[in-house]
Structure 1
Amino acid sequence: MIYYRLVVFILSGVVLFSCKNKENDEAIAIQENSNKEKNFKVITKKPSEVNTPEGMVWIPGGTFIQGARAEDEMAMKHEKPAHQVTVDGFFMDITEVTNAEFREFVEATGYVTIAEREIEWEEMKKQLSPGTAKPHDSILQPGSLTFKKTKNSVPNLYDYSQWWDWTIGANWRHPEGPGSSIEGKDNYPVVHIAYKDALAYCEWAGRRLPTEAEWEYAARGGQEDAIFTWGNDLNKLSEMANSWEGEFPKKNTKADGFENKAPVKSYPANPYGLYEMAGNVWEFTQDWYNVDYYKDLEKKGNIKNPMGPEKAYNPNQPRTPEKVIKGGSYLCHESYCASFRISARMANSTDSAQEHLGFRTVASVDMVGKE
């Protein structure tokens, strides 16, 4: 159930992790020579006997620096310290999973997403402080979070409730709530997908979610020092990604062509042939969100195929296990959420969904059929 997000809006008892945190940290310290004593065998080239699945592209394995670049003035504290990581090659969806693809899964399995299920109070209150009163049954109804523009300027961008609504009846079929539809939008990214929904799709499709390291490595596209998927020129944002332009959240000038979500392949692909790795909708990874994880990795030196921390830890959400999401969305703006950068990362609970969150899948070599 979408326990956490619903409680935030009904009870106002939880403070979300804010993405408006741009203070400059100390210079990034990258452990040098961490790879000298580690002779990793890395899958770089696609095995000749393995077929590339339809709709996917091969990502050649290698070593890279994960995390914020020293020259990135928009970087947040939890993107640091940068650290060396090695990943084996893998296949990745060229685009985010679309409405058409998700509909095929639902029609084949009868799956019901978290946003469409009845809410169970006994489960919800496990994430709340003891003694929290139960909301009225009229509020405890299936739904999800939808975005709303404000009529006036918003001086306090930490208060996200000014532009998010809990909307009963909002789900992947009705992304803006009752009365809205995905008719004619087969090639748009599916949204209002909770982590558990993404896992169910992956199991059906014979895929998995990317690790955070795999996602960031693929988004980088072999560009070692790039801040964005297209390089380092912020002035190209409008032509390269679907983000918020104008005054957030009051007015969107639509300089990039869209106010809300865009169809997949609306913007140029990165050097690996991946579309919309920046903006459009956030994407789930399989890693738990842990504020100490990057520090731990830096101490260990180069790690091959890191799977994320063993458990979630966010002091702002101690009762809510969260997963790392990457890529930013059409709502990201430099003044509030500059998450159209490669190293940007945020946290999302496993049982919550929103209008700007979707996913794409990956496949390891051993998951793919051979010729």
Structure 2
Amino acid sequence: MDCCTPSADRPLTSVPAPVPGTGNHRIEQISVPSQTFAMGDAHDDGVRADGEQPVHPVRVPAFSIDATSVTVADFRAFATETGYRTDAEQYGWSAVFHLALTDPDHVAGQMQGTPWWLGVEGANWAHPGGPSDVAADDHPAVHVSWNDAQAYCAWAGRRLPSEAEWECAARAGLPSLRYPWGDELPSDGHALNIWQGSFPTTNLGSDGFITTAPVRTFTPNAYGLWQPVGNVWEWVADWFSPTYYAESPAGDPRGPADGTAKVIRGGSYLCHDSYCNRYRNAARSSNTPDSSTGNMGFRTAANR
């Protein structure tokens, strides 16, 4: 966990049983070829506690992955058909960044250790800033926990990508680069949706967005993935361990057998190099499976 992704500090819940449904998953699919790639931080940019090193060769079989994060419209189709209620809806609140708050009278309290995060009653995937805030259909669905992402996957006949698959897809065949396009951020600030300004009080919005951007914003990577870095953190299947890379198998690794937190990838609109440079291909963080925030979403994958 880091300052951008507060844990809900709730008791861990079991993974929901598969939700019946038609599995109408409408997101464009990207085919990723079988390959061996160098996984991990080759630039020594990461926080040691995140466990981005050592760089190690990983073989992944061919798979398909969503071109975008799962959108509000996609998640609504699932929730409408199944009647599914997310962890945030069941608990009655979720974590909202203070500048995204729309309903001050619904604040239940500040998140411990990260006072810029507020526990807001009625905040969920349909109302990201609070009860009066209506989510835009073409934005990523946020306030979804790992449990919620798993439930969506069960309905859609999909799965969450492994951490290795996620990084492979983000790198798009370009080895050891910091970002999907290269090693440097463009000076105009228009390559990805991250924080510009002084965190946590002033976001200049130079990239055009204060919170989430529509999922098809900026330029996709060489494989055709939109915004694998920036915009929202994305849940992957693996349990988190900061020492896993030192013991990871070379063939199709799937993470530790157990743990207390799940890996999230890609960073979000709150990341800034002054404190949280996790908007990189190699960057990783984690959160508990029932945690939900206004900057965590997911995309899905499938075997080919």
Q: TM-score, normalised by structure 1?
A: 0.70
Structure 2: stretches of 5+ with no match in the other structure: 1-5, 12-25, 101-111
Residue matched to 1:23: none
Aligned partner of residue 155 in structure 2, secondary structure: helix
> How far 1:64 moved relative to its partner?
0.6
2:36 to 63, 79, 82: 63
Judged with a 3 Å threshold, the aligned counterparts in structure 2 of structure 1 residues 76 and 117 are, in CA distance, closer, same or farther, namely same
**More strand, by proportion:** 2
1:88 to 50, 54, 61: 61
User: For residues 300-353 of structure 1, what are the alpha-carbon distances to aligned partners after superposition, in whole Å with 9 as ceiling and x for unaligned?
Assistant: 5xx1111111112xxxxxxxx100000000000001111111000001100110
| 8 Å contact kept, 1:243–1:332 | yes
Judged with a 3 Å threshold, the aligned counterparts in structure 2 of structure 1 residues 348 and 57 are, in CA distance, closer, same or farther, namely same
Q: TM-score, normalised by structure 2?
A: 0.85
1:333 to 272, 275, 297: 272
Among all aligned residue pairs of Structure 1 and Structure 2, give the percentage whose two residues are the same amino acid.
43
User: For residues 9-68 of structure 1, what are the alpha-carbon distances to aligned partners after superposition, in whole Å with 9 as ceiling and x for unaligned?
Assistant: xxxxxxxxxxxxxxxxxxxxxxxxxxxxxxxxxxxxxxxxxxxx8511101110011110
Q: Does 1:306 align with 2:253?
A: yes
Aligned partner of residue 74 in structure 2, secondary structure: helix
Q: Does 1:217 align with 2:188?
A: no
| 8 Å contact kept, 1:6–1:166 | no
Aligned partner of residue 279 in structure 2, secondary structure: coil
Distance 1:177 1:257 in 2: 22
Q: Does 1:76 align with 2:50?
A: no
> How far 1:161 moved relative to its partner?
1.8
Distance 2:244 2:130 in 1: 37
Q: Does 1:169 align with 2:122?
A: yes
Judged with a 3 Å threshold, the aligned counterparts in structure 2 of structure 1 residues 352 and 306 are, in CA distance, closer, same or farther, namely same
Q: Does 1:256 align with 2:195?
A: no
| 8 Å contact kept, 2:27–2:70 | no
Residue matched to 1:48: none
Structure 1: stretches of 5+ with no match in the other structure: 9-52, 119-141, 151-158, 313-320, 366-371
Distance 1:246 1:237 in 2: 14
User: For residues 121-140 of structure 1, what are the alpha-carbon distances to aligned partners after superposition, in whole Å with 9 as ceiling and x for unaligned?
Assistant: xxxxxxxxxxxxxxxxxxxx
Distance 2:173 2:75 in 1: 30
Of structures 1 and 2, the larger Rg is shown by 1
Judged with a 3 Å threshold, the aligned counterparts in structure 2 of structure 1 residues 160 and 338 are, in CA distance, closer, same or farther, namely farther
Moved over 4 A (4+): none
Judged with a 3 Å threshold, the aligned counterparts in structure 2 of structure 1 residues 360 and 101 are, in CA distance, closer, same or farther, namely same
1:146 to 77, 96, 121: 96
Distance 2:69 2:115 in 1: 28
Distance 2:214 2:206 in 1: 16
